[in-house]
Amino acid sequence: MQKQIACLLFIVWVTIMFSGAVPVFLLLFACGCIVGSTTVLFGFGGGFFIVPLLYALLTATADSHTAAAAMHIAVATSTGVMIFSASLATLRQHRAGMINWPQVRPLAGYIAAGAVAGALLAIAVQGIWVKWMFIAYLAITILDSIFRPGFMTQSASHLRTMPAGAVAVAGTVIGVVAAFLGVGGSVMTVPLMRRRGAEMAQATAMANPLSLPMALAGTLTYILLARHETAEFGSGFAGYVDIQAFMLLIAGSWLGQKLSAPLIGRIPDKLYAKSYLALLIFVLLVMVIVQ
């Protein structure tokens, strides 16, 4: 396990220290490694790292037409990467016995339906508004997790079942918000499951299968309904999805998940909760700084 931790820390160090010098493809691969790690350990799905990174890269290096759509491309590509990362993480968490499937299945269909609406809404909104909604959502989530009881400490000794009406509302809202922002459902599903009595390891594990229906529905919407608007981007795009970035990110994600798998279920609960919030705060700061 020490070797896996050392490798992950090295990848993070390389990304931070040399992001301005290494070729873009190496930076994307290194980011993919971090995405794989956070997906399998925190259920993030990658959006919190992919969206800021791609937004910064596109605004700095792309032509004016593509740069103007940087936020839409970042969100759509992030959503596509989640299909791979969430699927692989779900398989690993299932094998580790961390997923409570009776709690997951009722939400999945509503999340998929909400994701279509969220992707359509994101396509219709200017990119700068998506960025600031992303920032506002992060800030609200962080403050809610810190100040409202039930997240930092386990609120019950067992996972409580949600009423049918609450499942429908929660699933639809999670799908809309997750696809609109390209972040997966973890920012909503993890606090939701946490406050219903789940340990952090279990809550983050369940975020992965719940991110998958959102990723599938959202990606198809970004590809099929935006293909005419994005024709000027060139052959490297499928709708708003950046194909090269997508491939590099999923390759790195596979490696990150491989290295992180031995840590599943071994992180103390309180440290897990604090680490989750620390990652949210880090991404919030990145998004505020990046212009």
Give the contacts of 74 (CB within 8 A, at least 6 positions apart).
50, 51, 52, 53, 54, 55, 58, 182
| pLDDT value of position 19 | 47
One-letter amino acid at 173 equals V
pLDDT average, residue stretch 118-125? 82
Q: How many CB atoms lie within 10 A of CB 111?
A: 31
The confidence score (pLDDT) of residue 45 equals 65
Residue 65 is which amino acid?
Answer: H
Phi, psi dihedrals of residue 197, rounded to the nearest 5°:
110, 5
Confidence of residue 222 (pLDDT cuts 50, 70, 90): confident
- C-alpha count within 13 angstroms, C-beta hemisphere, residue 64: 0
Give me the pLDDT at residue 280, please. 80
pLDDT tier at 158 (50, 70, 90 boundaries)?
low
212 neighbors 226 (Cβ within 8 angstroms)? no
Give residue 230's pLDDT: 64
- CA 84-6-77 angle, 5° bins: 25
Q: What is the pLDDT of residue 120?
A: 84
Rounded to whole angstroms, the Cα distance separating 57 from 109 reads 34
Q: What is the pLDDT of residues 163-189, one digit of tens each?
A: 888 889 988 988 888 778 777 667 778
Which tens digits make up the pLDDT trace of 80-99?
998 988 888 888 888 888 88
Q: Is 203 helix (H, G, I), strand (E, B) or coil?
A: helix
